[in-house]
Amino acid sequence: MANFDSRETLSMQNEIPRSLLQDLFGATDFGRKGVKRLRYRTDHIHDASQIDWCERTGLIRLESDHYLLSLFGLVEIDTEESRAFFATAELAYASMGQRYRENPGNAVLVMELASELGLSFEDMFYYIELMFECYPCFGGFSGRHAIDKPSVAMIVPSEPILQYPTFKTCVEHLQKMRANMHVDVPSSYFALQAATAAVASSWPTERLKSAVPQDQARLLEEVYTAIEHKLFTLASVGIRTVIDMVFLDRIGDIGSFQDKVADLQKKGLISKIQADVLLKVIDAGNASAHRGYTPDPKDVDILVEVVEHLLTAIYQHPTEVAELAKKTPARRPKVRL
């Protein structure tokens, strides 16, 4: 199965439904588009418990009410397309590692990788989107909205790309982490819904949830899930990545985190106090990714609060205040006697 040993990936109490994963991979045009969640469940009603388990353990990814196969789901199947993906991923990974050695912290344009590897931009973008799920080696990705913007679609390699010599070794490291963090899977769809609802309630308000772009929202929900299971190191790294995704969305890639924070402040999107706070939060995320730092629950609360305030200031308040301004009556001119 793509030359990966999956024996340690998940609890051996469950048989991985590889035929189901392979069927989903085909139904989503080999991963390039999602399939509607309710339609797929209805058409596979007899496999509902297996679908629940795959969704709960991260083999299936839920995105905007559509199912997609995750990177770890793709590891479990053996098709011509999955083998092509991992072969190409190794080449892309090696190229990004070399680029990191030459220019640490710089972003890599997806279209440059596509040209280098002889792929279409769309195929390379799909590969990069999956590779980004191997989060220790990447500090940011422009996200799915950039599929129509080849000139700005980019990924940012981070230092661990030098520590893991191949993409396979990085994936295997995460597989072992996932095996260690595995928890009992809810036995029914209704139990799964209850568990998901509990995590979703971590959003401070529904207004913020609806205002945040899809890619940042999806990752923040993964942060909430990590916190729910007391995986505070993963949460810290995830929060740093959410912040970097905001930078890429609002100002692009201009260098170091310090440069990005300074540019965000220069553009008036954050204050001096917010800039200082963000740099400390980013450093905590860097420490979790590179220096073995695990924040305690109180520290994680602070980190989450900061990133929620950033998302509120960048995405929610400007839109809501603009709507408020439309409804606010204009001042009447003073009558001069």
Q: Give tens-digit pLDDT for 77-104.
A: 998 889 999 999 999 999 999 999 998 8
Does 9 have pLDDT greater than 60? no
Nearby residues of 327 by Cβ (< 8 Å), 6 or more positions away? none
- Same domain? For 93 and 152 the reply is yes
Final residue belonging to a domain, choices 59, 75, 91: 75
- Same domain? For 209 and 312 the reply is yes
Nearby residues of 49 by Cβ (< 8 Å), 6 or more positions away? 187, 188, 189
**Mean pLDDT, residues 226-246 taken together:** 84
**pLDDT confidence bin for 6, thresholds 50/70/90:** very low
Distance CA 169, CA 329 (A): 61
| 237 assigned to some structural domain | yes
- Same domain? For 322 and 214 the reply is yes
Final residue belonging to a domain, choices 60, 75, 90: 75
| 186 assigned to some structural domain | no
CATH number at residue 289: 1.20.120
If one counts every other C-beta atom within 10 angstroms of the C-beta of residue 81, the result is 13
- Same domain? For 244 and 309 the reply is yes
- Same domain? For 148 and 120 the reply is yes
- Same domain? For 231 and 253 the reply is yes
Does 4 have pLDDT greater than 80? no
- Same domain? For 134 and 241 the reply is no
Nearby residues of 111 by Cβ (< 8 Å), 6 or more positions away? 121, 124, 150, 151, 153
| 336 assigned to some structural domain | no
| 125 assigned to some structural domain | yes
Does 5 have pLDDT greater than 70? no
Residues spanned by the domain of 119: 81-165
**Could you say which DSSP state residue 314 is in?**
I
pTM for the full model?
0.57
pLDDT, residue 14, reads 52
Mean pLDDT over each residue of the chain, to the nearest integer: 82
Final residue belonging to a domain, choices 141, 165, 189: 165
Could you give the number of structural domains in the chain?
3
In which element (H, E) is residue 85 found?
helix 80-102
**pLDDT confidence bin for 178, thresholds 50/70/90:** low
- Same domain? For 233 and 291 the reply is yes
- Same domain? For 256 and 222 the reply is yes
| 178 assigned to some structural domain | no
Q: Nearest Cα to 192, choosing from 15, 57, 20?
A: 57
- Same domain? For 130 and 210 the reply is no
Residue 140 three-state SS: strand
- Same domain? For 86 and 48 the reply is no
Q: Which two tokens stand for residue 238?
A: 């995830």
| 121 assigned to some structural domain | yes
Distance CA 175, CA 179 (A): 6
| 245 assigned to some structural domain | yes
Distance CA 310, CA 301 (A): 14
If you compute the radius of gyration of the chain from its CA atoms, what whole number of angstroms results? Answer: 21
Beta strands in the chain (DSSP E): 35-36, 60-63, 66-69, 108-109, 138-141, 154-157
- Same domain? For 229 and 321 the reply is yes
pLDDT, residue 134, reads 85
More confident residue, 159 or 194: 159
More confident residue, 222 or 17: 17
| 85 assigned to some structural domain | yes
